Structure 1
Amino acid sequence: MIDSLLLELMLVGLLGIGSQWISWRFRLPAIVVMSIVGLLAGPVFGLMNPEQDFGNLYSPIISLAVAVILFEGSLNLDFKEVKGLGRPVFRVVTFGAFISWVLGLLAAHYVAGLSWAVAFVIAALFIVTGPTVILPLLRQSKLKPRPAKILKWEGIIVDPIGALLAVFAFEITEFLVGTNHSPMALLSFFLAAIFAVMLGYACGKGVGWMFETGYVPEYLKSPVVLTVVIACFTIADEITHETGLLSVTAMGMTLANMHISSIADMKHFKESISLLLTSTIFVLLTASLTRETLLQIFNIEIIGFVLLMLFVVRPLSIFVSTWGTDLSRPEKLLVGWIAPRGIVALTVSGYFAGVLLDAGFEDASILISLTFALVFTTVVAHGFSIGWLSKKLGLSMEGPPGVLLVGGSKFTTKLAKALQDVKVPVLVSDSSWERLSSARAEGIKSYHGEILSEQTEYKLDMTPYEYMLAATEFDSYNALVCTTFVPEFGRNNLFQLSLSKREGDKLEDLVHTIGGRVLSKVGASWEELNTMVEHGYVFRRTNITERYTYRDYLNNIDDQAIQIFVKKPSKKVEFFSEEIEARVEQGDVVVSLTPPKKELEKIQEKLERQRKAKDKQPEAESE
């Protein structure tokens, strides 16, 4: 056991972020890795017990972290996003949640062996999925937009609703079979829930107004939002337990639909905070479990309950609630399977386990084991199956990493064609139909619209594209595009053309701090690249083999050729750049923009053959 609390905090952070890195590096579900790491650090090897070590601070830390995570998720709930999906989403978060509650109640009573009162409370809680588990899965699975949006909205909306339903169910239980028979308790609960929504809405409107009118300086905006979120959650939660989650969700949705530029800028900060909190909190929760809790998971009643929740309750609730909507059968199958439970289920069940035990319900002692069994099973089952199932159902965007080219021109058209030839998905985007005409004539997928427009977020699905090349004739615009999309693509996957050598803005001092990597080692500008294409330069593929190495390729390449990218056997693409050396190995395909010497030689050879053939014809006639 670690004696130092500071050392324990450091270890929790390292384990959480380390789990995220391992999941990224080996393409594993992050939640699964974090759960296993927490179990190893806690009940298995006994290195820590955060709940015991943190004492009275443990529950407030978890609660505040969940509030921030839920707020960050609700910042993405823009009503424009569900255009055309309003009916299925509404059905899932209302009728679907109710059906899941009823079926979960029956399963908890008849299979898990819980009393009606305890089953009534815990079944309400188990309708939640939550952003802490859904959002990481969606990031890794590359689902198509429709099922991804339904799962995201359900996870964020139902999270606070499930916690509130559990509180409501407990109040009903107290009213019916407990010592408190006053209807005022139920009325006060409803009033507290309404107050929480109004408080969240007021906080969101207030913060938005202050930002729009300039009452908060730029450097204070993120701290102000974080402080207001904590205050909003705490005030509501102190009045009635778990209404704080509803309050921060209302605040986040209010800000999301005000479309304030400052909030959009802060999303990236909030996402980083949310990622850190999710990583550490999951480790804290799993490390705090006891060995007795883990052993209790293997009871036949708990196993039966978990299997029913996975294979009966969830699929049935989705199929019944979405009956008559335009969701396809594969979409219903996927949404009906994916429902991992997360942090809210674990934390709130721990709270109700204690409350129900104090109220005299002895069977509540298994609630923590029951909840962890459901959380861990769903996280593992859904985390490992979402990619495979989505591919089988045709709902996955999984495939070779694609390239998004910003700016239509002769060069981008030829580059797109070269990418297509090596089976790399490609899209050319431009706000001008005229500049897109050459790409459209070649049958290349294109998007007509301003890439920096807010509407693009809802109209263009960027999931298949891992690389972006800003290739317009305006250097400042290229830099702006790359800087804007750093959070989505990562700076290593963003490229722009070299700065123009014409007179105008002097951007040389800015290129090192903003924008993306400069394409190619020689750094050819827009004018140079398009001039080359106009003069007949072609994109040529060269296979690097054991007999023809990359060194041989460099010795034979034309001095005027420009190396553009490398296609790896793993289907990944590496662009040549001034900042980083592309690794070229055996089995790679190198694509370069080269002078048309070989093509000219072939034409000359063809013309020569035709001339010789004509010369022979008179001889044959004379004979």
Structure 2
Amino acid sequence: MAMGTLADGALAPVLSFALVGALGVGAQWLAWRLRMPAIVLMLLAGLLIGPVLGVFDPARDIGPLMGPMISLAVAIILFEGGMTLSAHSLRGAAEGVKRLVFLGAPLGWLFSALALHYVAGLGWASSAVFGGIMIVTGPTVIAPLLRQARLKRRPAQLLQWEAIVNDPIGALAAVLAFEVVLVLNTAETMGVAAWEFARGIALASALGIAGGWIIAESFRRAWVPEFMKVPVLFALLLAVFALSDTVLHESGLLAVTVMGIWIANADLPSYTELRRFKEHATILLVSGVFILLAANMDFETLARLNWRAAAFVVAVVLLVRPMTVLISLLGTAIPVRERLLVAFTGPRGVVLVAVAGLFAERLVASGIEDAALLTPLAFALVAATVVLHGFSLRPIARGLGLAGAAIPGVIFVGGSRFAAAFAEALRDLEVPVLIADANRARLRSAREAGLPVFFGDILSEAAEHGVEIMSFGQVMAVSDNDAYNTLVATDLAPEFGRESVFQIKRAKQESRRHALPATLGGRSIVGGLTYYEIAGKMNEGWDVRKTRLSEDFDFEAWRARNPDAVPVAEYDENSGLRLIPTDEDPRKTSGIQLLSFAPARGDDADKAGDAPAARQTANGER
């Protein structure tokens, strides 16, 4: 018997778990490398090892553990969705987002249920449950799509906030519809059904509120040490889910959603750390659940997807989504072009498949046979919408004039002459730039050069809602406050990626007494020069220069001519902009624009192609 397999050819449970984890995370990593939706690769991986090759059969290899695993995973996913629903964020959202939530959610539920019943041919019970899930437009899918498409701020915010807020609302709608169906099918009379439903909803809500209150109070009053906050949170989450589920089957999903909403609005100091950890856990769970559900499909079930399934997908994309959005945004000040873009952008994600797979199994067990079609319909809808919007969103946005810059830009934190000079050079290359500073006087050089500025703290809520983060891919902390530079780089690293966050050298960095661990701060840039060393060199005539490298004048030739210059960035028309860390050289030695911080040169050097970038403006020389 081969290691990791059983006598009948089934995989051992441990090997099965390892395979699911490796495929899920591997598919997400490969999707990141290929810049394509991860959900498509996860779907292909699950189908390949499941019905196509028969290597992994969840029912055979995991057996009775599969149901509880998916239930717990979906509970944590819905809890994560609830933790994103902050009343403060919703109050600050635009009118369009509120319309898409308060009016769009019930309309989407209604239109989706109608499409499921009249187009897909499902009964009203299955249609009501699946229609509620279809409210969710996929926050785990929208974010990478927006990064890839780089829309302008308002349509991007509309799509992003709708997905975030409707995530728990859609799951909640599905839970409520499922509870109604379940109670009606198990109760003897309508009165008993109404009582069981009301009792379950009340108990689930009470348990969710109690769990959220216990977490908030115990964390706020320091009854739980910092290192135990995440374990306590997850232990209580599972306890609330199990207790509520014991009283009324599947009401635990409602309880954990309510618990997440309560914690999101409790203003906990440790909320950011909790949210980051549960986001990481959710990525693992989402990928695992998706692989399990895809591998659990069989050709017999997939063969039931006939022309009605295709018509249903077309109806959702061309009728249900556009009608929901256009009716919801009727009478708002949002331009028609933006309404159309949002109306024809509604990708569904893993949450839809996970929740649909769970409820499908429960509905079939309750005697509703057509619910077996929910999982394949969910897969079809997710695959079609993700592929469609993944390849069409950017072209459509460009055609409507709503696409942002094609090249990810740079945020400069800290206004100075150097920041303004570097930003001017990047602007000449059509790279988006923004200079942020809480001191208006330090933004003078940038304002005089006509550069975009943000007056305020880049870490503030005003920056979160007022800066088009999607247009930027890298951060340079170049203020005169070393501690603030370190704080900015550390705080923004999870969002931009640690390889894309930079800061200038701290003044006392070489001292052991002031040395910081590698987990704090960003990558060093500008040749290891401190703020005051850069300012001093600017006073001596140093400037940011652009030089086009070629086979005849490559990096080695440039270095020989400019021994004191510091390479800061390289720009390529195909791969875009790359900031160069202190300990690295350009990756390409020719065929790029090299931006450097260099001493003043004579006219002869300028004519050779090594000219100050600040001399080049939109209308020629300055």
Q: TM-score by structure 2 length? A: 0.88
Secondary structure of 2:168 counterpart: helix
In the TM superposition, what is the alpha-carbon distance from 1:403 to its structure 2 partner? Answer: 0.9
Task: Please say which of residues 384-393 and 582-591 is displaced more in the overlay.
Answer: 384-393
Counterpart among 277, 281, 291 of residue 285 in structure 2: 277
SS at match of 2:469: coil
Alignment of 1:414-425 (within 5 A): 414-425=421-432
Equivalent residues of 2:216, 2:268 under 8 A apart: yes
Partner of 1:191: 199
Post-superposition shift, 1:423? 2.1
Q: What letter matches 1:531 in structure 2?
A: G
Give how far 1:535 is off.
1.9
Q: Deviations over 1:399-428 (max 9, x none)?
A: 212111111112211121122222221111
Larger Rg: 1
Match for 2:161: what amino acid? I
8 Å CA contact retained: 1:542, 1:591: yes
- SS of the residue aligned with 1:250? helix
CA deviation profile, 1:31-50 (whole Å, cap 9, x unmatched):
11111111111111111012
Q: Is the 8 A contact 2:105 2:170 kept in 1?
A: no
> Does 2:544 align with 1:539?
yes
Whole-angstrom distance in 1 between the partners of 2:246 and 2:210: 18
The one-letter amino acid paired with 1:563 is P
Q: Find the aligned partners of 1:349 and 1:537 in 2 and give their Cα distance.
A: 62
- Could you report, residue by residue, the CA deviation over 1:321-370 in whole angstroms, capped at 9, with x for unpaired residues? 33223333233323333333444543444455455555555544444433
2-structure distance, mates of 1:502, 1:354:
59
Q: CA deviation at 1:55?
A: 1.7
- Partners of 1:168 and 1:602 in 2: CA distance: 75
Whether 2:107 is the aligned partner of 1:99: answer yes
Alpha carbons of structure 1 residues 243 and 330: separation in structure 2 relative to 1, 3 Å: farther
Tell me if 1:526 matches 2:531: yes
For residues 325 and 600 of structure 1, do their structure 2 counterparts lie closer, same or farther at Cα, with a shift above 3 Å needed? same
Distance (Å, rounded) in 1 between the aligned partners of 2:100 and 2:451: 38
**In the TM superposition, what is the alpha-carbon distance from 1:588 to its structure 2 partner?**
0.9
1:310 Cα deviation (Å)? 2.1
Q: Give the letter for the 1:386 counterpart.
A: L
CA contact (8 A) 2:572 2:593 kept: yes
Aligned to 2:415: 408
What is the CA–CA distance in structure 1 between the aligned matches of 2:502 and 2:602, rounded to whole Å? 29
**Other-structure match for 1:473:** 480
Q: Retained in 2: the 8 A contact 1:126–1:162?
A: no
1:568 to 564, 567, 572: 572
Aligned to 2:315: 308
Q: How big is each residue's C-alpha offset from its partner over 1:63-107, in whole Å with a ceiling of 9 and x where there is no partner?
A: 221222232233333333334546544443444333333333433
Contact 1:16 1:34 in 2 (8 A): yes
Moved more, 228-237 or 100-109: 100-109
Q: Could you tell me which residue of structure 2 aligns to residue 258 of structure 1? A: 266
Assess, with a 3 A threshold, how the Cα gap between structure 1 residues 58 and 138 changes in structure 2: closer, same or farther.
farther
1:229-378 equivalence runs, <5 A: 229-297=237-305, 299-354=306-361, 356-357=363-364, 360-378=367-385
Aligned to 2:523: 517
Q: Which residue of 2 aligns with 1:610?
A: none
Amino acid at match of 1:156: D
Q: Secondary structure at the match of 1:106?
A: helix
* Contact in 1 for aligned 2:146/2:470 (Cα 8 Å): no
1:169-227 per-position Cα deviation (integer Å, ceiling 9, x unaligned): 515753xxx87323222232133223323332332232122112211111111111222
2:295 and 2:136 map into 1 onto residues whose CA distance is 22
- Deviation of 1:253 after TM superposition, in Å, equals 2.5
The corresponding residue for 2:171 is 160
Q: Where do 5+ consecutive residues of structure 1 fail to align? A: 604-623
Paired residue type of 1:509 = A
| 1:140 to partner: Cα distance | 4.5
Give the whole-Å Cα distance in 2 for the aligned partners of 1:128 and 1:564: 43
Cross-structure match for 1:590: 594
Identical counterparts, % of pairs: 37
Partner of 1:578: helix, strand, or coil?
coil
Q: How far apart are residue 595 of structure 1 and its match?
A: 1.8
Distance 1:533 1:240 in 2: 70
| Aligned AA (1:331) | E
Change in Cα spacing, 1:169 to 1:386, as seen in structure 2 (3 Å) is farther
Q: Look up the match of 1:224.
A: 232
Q: Secondary structure at the match of 1:540?
A: strand
Q: Deviation string for 1:227-265 (max 9, x for gaps)? A: 222222332333333433332232222222232221112
For 2:162 and 2:549, locate their aligned partners in 1 and report how far apart those are by CA, in whole Å.
44
CA contact (8 A) 2:241 2:252 kept: yes
Q: Is the 8 A contact 1:117 1:173 kept in 2?
A: no
For the aligned residue pairs, the C-alpha RMSD in angstroms reads: 2.8
Alignment map for 1:375-386 (pairs within 5 Å): 375-386=382-393
- 2:10 counterpart of 1:5: no
1:596-611 matches, cutoff 5 A: 596-599=600-603
Shift of 1:136: 4.8
Specify the alignment match of 1:617 in structure 2: none
Q: Which runs of 5+ in 2 are unaligned?
A: 1-8, 608-622
Residue pair 1:432, 1:449 contacting (<8 A) in 2 also:
yes
SS state at 2:383 partner: helix
Q: How many residues align?
A: 596
Partner AA of 2:174 in structure 1: A
Larger deviation, residues 277-286 vs 382-391? 382-391
Alpha-carbon distance change, 203 to 305 in structure 1, aligned in 2, over 3 angstroms: same
SS at match of 1:403: strand
Q: How far apart, CA to CA, are the structure 2 residues paired with 1:215 and 1:180?
A: 47
Quickly say closer, same or farther: Cα 1:210–1:461, change in 2 above 3 A.
farther
2:566 partner amino acid: I
- CA shift for structure 1 position 377: 2.4
Query: Per the alignment, do residues 105 and 83 of structure 1 end up closer, same or farther by CA in structure 2, a change over 3 Å counting?
Result: closer
- Residue identity in the other structure for 2:535: N
Task: Single out whichever of 263-272 and 178-187 deviates more from structure 2.
Answer: 178-187
Residues 401, 571 of structure 1: 8 Å contact kept: no
Instruction: Map 1:75-90 to 2 at 5 A.
Output: 75-83=83-91, 85=93, 87-90=95-98
Rounded to whole Å, the distance in 1 between the matches of 2:124 and 2:517 is 66
